[in-house]
Amino acid sequence: MNRAMLPMLRKALRDVADPRKAPAMQAYMKSDMPYHGVPMPLLRQVCRRAFATLEFASAREWQQQVRDLWHGAQFREERYAALHLAGDARAQAFQTPAAMRLYEELIVSGAWWDYVDDIAAHRVGPILRDYPAGMRRRMLTWSRSPNLWKRRTSIICQLGFKHETDLALLYACIEPSLDSKEFFLRKAIGWALRQHAWTDPAEVTRYVRRNRERLHSLSIREALKNLR
């Protein structure tokens, strides 16, 4: 990666930042890493300009560029920029199961919902859709992981699938976490079910009814939120 990229990106973010907003943003996200104070629309503009001339000669080079930004970041927006680079349209050909080692690394090291939810829905989900056989096995393995963020990813990775949702996979990924006391897993279960309820409310209602004794009240409330 161009070693000047991160300093250039950092300067561009500072140029558009409102430092007065940074403490509130950091507090809201409960982040140890500070913020510049850049709202997401401006962040996307900065990323488009900063990455405009980048070239990806190979999947390995693209992954290394993402890693360099991610691990070199000193502010949270710089990690958001790494996620923006991970989803760059020029890297579309690299969005294969071979990219899952990178995404697993970001999920485990990021270990918070803002990073994980973006990766799960926008990176892992599309790879699952394009490579269902191998990815299905991987998500089933992740659903039983001791790492709660990998579990959360397995539950919410189909958020945008609508009629293409693999219900057997969704329910199988929920199953190991049904009795979990982790807030982020309970919330993920409810979110995934609520999202599918837009497509098939009767099925989600049946699932909740069948599993009411095991589902936490938070998961039930979230799942049925839009059906009342």
For residue 67, what are its two tokens?
A: 């890693």
- C-alpha 146/C-alpha 165 separation (Å) is 25
CATH class of 95-228: mainly alpha
pLDDT, tens only, 73-131: 999 999 999 999 999 999 999 999 999 999 999 999 999 999 999 999 999 999 999 99
Q: Domain locations in the chain?
A: 1-93, 95-228
Q: Does domain 1-93 have CATH number 1.25.10.90?
A: yes
Number of Cβ within 10 Å of residue 159's Cβ equals 19
1-93 matches 95-228 in fold: yes
107 three-class SS = helix
> Percentage of residues in the chain with pLDDT exceeding 70?
98
* CA nearest neighbour of 6 among 50, 58, 55, 64: 50
Q: What is the pLDDT along the chain (228 residues), one digit of tens a residue?
A: 556 789 999 999 999 999 999 999 999 999 999 999 999 999 999 999 999 999 889 999 999 999 999 999 999 999 999 999 999 999 999 999 999 999 999 999 999 999 999 999 999 999 999 999 999 999 999 999 999 999 999 999 999 999 999 999 999 999 999 999 999 999 999 999 999 999 999 999 999 999 999 999 999 999 999 886
pLDDT at 30: 97
How far, in whole angstroms, is CA 146 from its chain's centroid?
Answer: 18
Single pTM value for the model: 0.95
In this structure, which amino acid lies at residue 113?
W
